[in-house]
Amino acid sequence: MLRQIGRNLGASTFLNPLYWVREKLVPTVRPKQSQEDVDAGKKQAAEEGKQSVFEAAVAAPAPRQPEVAPGAPGSAVSKAKSLYIFKKAPKPRPSSHKYSTANFKISHRKLNMLGRQIAGKPIDHAILQMQFSEKRASSRIMNMLATARDHAVRYKRLNEPKLVVGMLAVLLPILPDAHRVAAEAWVSKGPNTGKRLEPRGRGHTGVQRHPNSKLTVVLKEGKTVEEKKKDDRERRIRKIVSASATREDKPIRNPSPTWGW
């Protein structure tokens, strides 16, 4: 039989191993099956229980949904109402912006003096104070204030001419409720404090501590300089009492030590 196959295919083709590879592994054109053959194969697979998961899901009848009254919970109307009720409210417009420096080598007492210098001032005046300050940390604070002003205007949409640095309060980590009593701007100690030995007399040694701290500010929209001047002028005018013939209920402030004639 092998001789007959060799005569039909030829000796070179029959003995060549590439023939088997070409016959078994090389992709060939698959003969197209007719619709009758496909239906017969599906029917036979269904009878033998070898049907695919997708065909079984398609062939299975869909579960019937129970009828729901229009106003009952679970109906389309109730779902629409629930979506309307639980719709998220729009986020409120931010009213402040918090920013801080990184921890750098400075005592919290020295940094607190700079914080008190800019507390309660408009942001432009605070930057101007730091620009002409002779303190070593003033340049770092000035850059921080400029960055905080830019972020407050760009990301929080705050009004730049009305930005005011919040009032100052010292925040130390030794306080148990420090994070709750903090005000609009605060100075805090850093987490790490470098220590070195300090030689002293008579063979004694001390400990040198190199503290680090940071300054945090909160920018809010407040009154501009012109508005403050206007309010101060109106307050001064309200204090003035005219020297009329009739007696007024308001007392005279800063009376003259002598008679006024």
pLDDT tens per residue, range 21-66 = 777 777 777 777 788 888 888 888 888 877 777 777 666 666 666 6
Contact of 131 with 114, CB cutoff 8 Å = no
- The answer to whether residue 81 scores a pLDDT higher than 60 is no
Question: What is the rounded CA–CA span in Å between residue 16 and residue 12?
Answer: 6
Give the mean pLDDT of 142-147.
94
- Per residue in 175-228, pLDDT (tens digit) is 333 222 223 667 888 887 788 999 999 999 999 989 999 999 999 888 887 888
Phi, psi of 197 (to 5 degrees): -80, 135
**What is the per-residue pLDDT for 224?**
80
Average pLDDT over residues 135-156: 94
User: Which of 1-5, 151-155, 247-251 reaches the highest mean pLDDT?
Assistant: 151-155
β-strands 205-210, 194-199 pairing: antiparallel
Is residue 160 predicted with pLDDT exceeding 80? yes
CA atoms of 86 and 48, how far apart (whole Å): 52
Tell me the three-class secondary structure of the chain, residue by residue. Answer: CHHHHHHHHCHHHHHCHHHHHHHHCCCCCCCCCCHHHHHHHHHHHHHHCCCCHHHHHHHCCCCCCCCCCCCCCCCHHHHHHHHHHCCCCCCCCCCEEEEECCCEECCHHHHHHHHHHHCCCEHHHHHHHHHCCCCCCHHHHHHHHHHHHHHHHHCCCCCHHHEEECCECCCCCCCCCHHHHCCCEEEEECCCCEEEEEECHHHCEEEEEECEEEEEEEEEECCCHHHHHHHHHHHHHHHCCCCCCCCCCCCCCCCCCCCCC
pLDDT of residue 177: 30
Q: How far apart are CA 102 and CA 118, in angstroms?
A: 18
Residue 174's CB: how many other CB atoms inside 10 A? 6
For residue 87, name the pLDDT band (cuts at 50, 70, 90): low
- Measured CA to CA in angstroms, residue 60 lies from 38, 40, 63, 206 at distances of 19, 19, 9, 87
pLDDT over 80 (residue 130): yes
**CA-CA distance, 134 to 123, in Å (whole number)?**
19
Q: Give the lowest-confidence range in 140-144, 148-152, 165-169.
A: 165-169
